[in-house]
Amino acid sequence: MERPRVGIVGASGYSGMVATRLLLSHPHVELAFCTSDKWTGDRVGARVGMPDSSHLAFVANGRAVEVSEGCRVVFLATSAEVSLELAPKLRARGVSVIDLSGAFRLRDVGAYPKWYGFEHHATEHLAGAHYGMPELFGPPPSEGLVANPGCYPTATVLALAPLLRAGLIEPTGLIVDAKSGVTGAGRQSKEAYSFTEVADDFRAYKLLSHQHTPEIAQACSVSSLTFTAHLLPVRRGILATCYAKPRANKEQLVAALRAAYERAPFVEIAPPEEVTLASVVGTNMCRIGVAANDDVVLIVSAIDNLVKGAAGQAVQNMNLMLGYDERIALSGLSRSTP
C-alpha cells in the first residue's frame, strides 16, 4: 500500500531537523520534501546524519506550496508570521498542516498583537485549529490544522491541567518557574545565544511578556498566572517548577496525575527528585513529580524541548491523524542516561 507523503517547511532549524530525522525513520510515511534556503540542493540525509535511500534534496522555502502537491501532511517548522501565511495556502490545496509555531494556538484573535506582534488575518483557520496535546485534548481530526503546543506550555500544562480539572489545586495565584536549554531559542546567531554569553551563566528573559503565558493560561483554563522563563547553559531540555495552593494532600494529587495519564505512553509520574533533564532529553517523554505540604504544592515537569516540546509531539499528532499508533517512530528514542 502506498505510504502517505509528508513534508517539512523550515527543515534546517533545530525542531525541523529533529522532525526530519523522525520522519526518515518512520515506517509508514514517505518524506516527500524538506525546505531550507541555506541548504537548498544539499542531500537531506547527509545534513541530518541519517541514511536516506531516496537521496532527497532540500528545496527553497519559497517552493513550499508548490512541492506540497500530493502530500497528506505538511509540518511547518517556521516562525509564526510565516506559518500564518503558509497554513491557509496549504489548507486550500487540501493538505493537512501541523504547525510548530504559535500562529494558531491562541483562540483570542485580539491577543496576537500583544503577544506575537502581528494582527491575525486567518481567523477561520484559527477557529478550527486543534490544540495538539493528545494526552489532554484528545487526538486531532484525520485532516485539518493542528496547532502544535509550545515547549514551555507542554511541560507546564501536562503538570498543572489534570490537577486543575480535578479541583485539587487553587486556580488562582499559580506560579511557573521554567528553565530551557539554548535550542529553545531556535537556530540563531545573536550574540546573546553564543557560547561565550551562555556558558557559566543563568538568566531570566522576557519577564512578564513571554508569548507562552497566554497559551498556558488558555490550556489550563485559568484567567491568569505568573510565568517566568530562564535560559540554562545546556543545549536541550526544559524543567518547569509549578507552584500552587493545595486543595488536597500529596497522595490525592499523585493519584489524580496517575489516573489522568494511565493510558498516556509518553507521560511518566515519578518522585520529584527524579524529574531531571537527563532522564528525558532525547525522548518524547514528559516526567512529572509532586511535592506538597499544607501550604504549597510543587509540581515538577521535565521534557526535551525539541522532541516532546516540538518535533516529537508533532509526529505523535501526525500518527494519530493518520490512524497509526501514536508511539511509532517515537518509542525507541533513547534517554541520555540509563
- CA torsion sign, 175 to 177 to 183 to 187? positive
Q: What is the pLDDT of residue 221?
A: 98
Longest dimension (CA), the chain: 61
Pair 248, 293 in one domain: yes
Q: What is the pLDDT of residue 193?
A: 67
CATH code for position 243: 3.30.360.10
Pair 189, 57 in one domain: no
CATH code for position 101: 3.40.50.720
> Quick check: is 203 in a domain?
yes
Q: Do residues 9 and 77 lie in contact, with contact meaning Cβ atoms separated by under 8 Å? A: yes
Q: What is the pLDDT of residue 288?
A: 98
Q: What is the pLDDT of residue 195?
A: 74
> Quick check: is 260 in a domain?
yes
> Quick check: is 270 in a domain?
yes
At 94-138, the pLDDT tens digits run 999 999 999 999 999 999 999 999 999 999 999 999 999 999 999
Pair 124, 69 in one domain: yes
> Quick check: is 164 in a domain?
yes
Residue 56, Cβ density class (10 Å: 0-12 exposed, 13-18 middle, ≥19 buried): middle
> Quick check: is 209 in a domain?
yes
Bridging pattern class, strands 297-303 and 286-292: antiparallel
> Quick check: is 334 in a domain?
no
Q: Is 71 a catalytic residue?
A: no
List the domain range (segments joined by +) for residue 208.
151-306
At 170-191, the pLDDT tens digits run 999 999 999 999 988 766 656 6
Q: Do residues 44 and 56 lie in contact, with contact meaning Cβ atoms separated by under 8 Å? A: yes
Q: DSSP letters of 277-332? A: STTTTTSS-EEEEEEE-SS-EEEEEEE-TTIIIIIHHHHHHHHHHTTS-TTTTTTT
How does DSSP classify residue 155?
H
Q: What is the pLDDT of residue 336?
A: 54
pLDDT-flagged residues of the chain (< 70): 1, 186-193, 196, 336-338
Q: What is the pLDDT of residue 53?
A: 75
Pair 163, 270 in one domain: yes
Catalytic residue among 34, 151, 242, 286: 151
Pair 225, 115 in one domain: no
Q: What is the pLDDT of residue 335?
A: 75
